[in-house]
Amino acid sequence: MNIWQSDRRRHVIANWEKGRLLGRGSFGSVYEGYAAGGFFFAVKEVQLLDQGNQEIQTKQCIYQIEQEIALLSQFNHPNIVQYYGTDKDEAKLYIFLELVSSGSLAEIYSRYHLKDSQVAAYTRQILHGLKYLHEHNVIHRDIKCANILVNVGGTVRLADFGLAKVTEFNNLIKSCKGTPCWMAPEVVNPKRRGGYGLPADIWSLGCTVLEMLIRRRPYSHLEPAQVLYRIGIGEPPPVPDFLSGLSQDFILKCLQVNPDDRPTAAELLDHPFLRRSSHA
């Protein structure tokens, strides 16, 4: 696969040690790593074999991991997590990534009440990352606070590209992938709606901005099956009246049921809500 080549400085990981557990995801656990020269990084550890030496990962899971590696190795953007390389043994695959030390936006909003200016600053950076991906016809497909990391300087990194997909020649995707509460209507019912493309990430972004401001997941009052039904019939998550007018307008522009009515990432960068950002 040839998308674009990264010229970002790479760290060579050698003689490394696995440190403390940082978190767990759908494909494995993430640890702190420590390499020769005193360099810290993140290690995504993927279990390939169980104790009986039987394969426990489906071919689809392995494909998604390989796809994530292939994409990450070519990304070159300050708002996308940096990839350093891989290692493996008989039972495990290790993916080396930039260590983003302040955690995810989900962790941050659970500890702090985010103001409009802070949410706008994060959103502006998320949009720059999405604009870069979309210019190269890459759909992330799993934009949510848990997959967006923040470093100590407040810089955002888009992460977890296991579901990301390259679209070619404006072909629409027809597989249902993502996390239900952040999925667009056309993702929930891809065949009925003729598939989906880049605007699906914009719907997820609207849900993510809402999530930061209300400090909980969208549709949090519903069970998962009810969530999928409501999204499938084109019902956006409730946007509370106590949010500022500009934030409501931004979110509702992202949550247009017709994907053709949603602004692009580049267009959203001009939205007045983002002028509240201290980084604007």
Domains of the chain: 16-98 (3.30.200.20), 103-274 (1.10.510.10)
Do residues 223 and 246 lie in contact, with contact meaning Cβ atoms separated by under 8 Å?
no
CA-CA distance, 70 to 216, in Å (whole number)?
A: 32
User: Binding site for ATP, residues?
Assistant: 44
Q: Is the dihedral of CA 89, 90, 92, 95 positive or negative?
A: positive
What are the φ and ψ backbone dihedral angles of 55, each rounded to 5 degrees? Answer: -65, 130
Q: What is the band of 122 on the pLDDT scale with cuts at 50, 70, 90?
A: very high
Residues 199-210: what's their mean pLDDT? 97
Please identify which of the residues 7, 87, 142, 201 carries the catalytic annotation.
142
Task: Retrieve residue 207's tokens.
Answer: 């849900």
Higher pLDDT, 166 or 75: 75
Contact criterion met (CB below 8 Å) for 147 and 159:
yes
d(CA 223, CA 155): 33
> Residues of the chain with pLDDT > 90: what percent?
54
10 Å Cβ neighbour count for 136? 14
* 145, 109 contact by CB (below 8 A): yes
Distance CA 182, CA 217 (A): 8
Q: Residues annotated as binding site for Mg(2+)?
A: 147, 160
Nearest-angstrom CA–CA distance, 170 and 176 = 18
Nearest to 123 by CA among 207, 197, 186: 207
User: DSSP for 217-274?
Assistant: -TTTTS-HHHHHHHHHTT-PPP--TTS-HHHHHHHHHHT-SSGGGSPPHHHHTT-GGG
Tokens of 132: 């870069």
pLDDT digits (tens, 9 = 90+) for 144-182: 999 999 999 999 999 887 666 666 545 555 454 557 889
Average pLDDT over residues 120-126: 98
Dihedral sign for Cα atoms in the order 136, 255, 126, 151: negative
Which alpha helices (DSSP H) does 95-244 contain, by range? 105-111, 116-135, 185-188, 199-214, 224-232
Query: Is the pLDDT at 68 greater than 80, yes or no?
Result: no
Q: Is the pLDDT of residue 94 over 50?
A: yes
CA distances from 208 to 40, 174, 205, 214, 236 (A): 29, 23, 5, 10, 13
Residue numbers in the known binding site are: 44, 147, 160
More confident residue, 241 or 86: 241
Query: Is position 201 annotated as part of the catalytic site?
Result: no
Chain segment 207-251, per-residue pLDDT in tens: 999 999 999 999 999 998 899 999 999 999 999 999 999 999 999
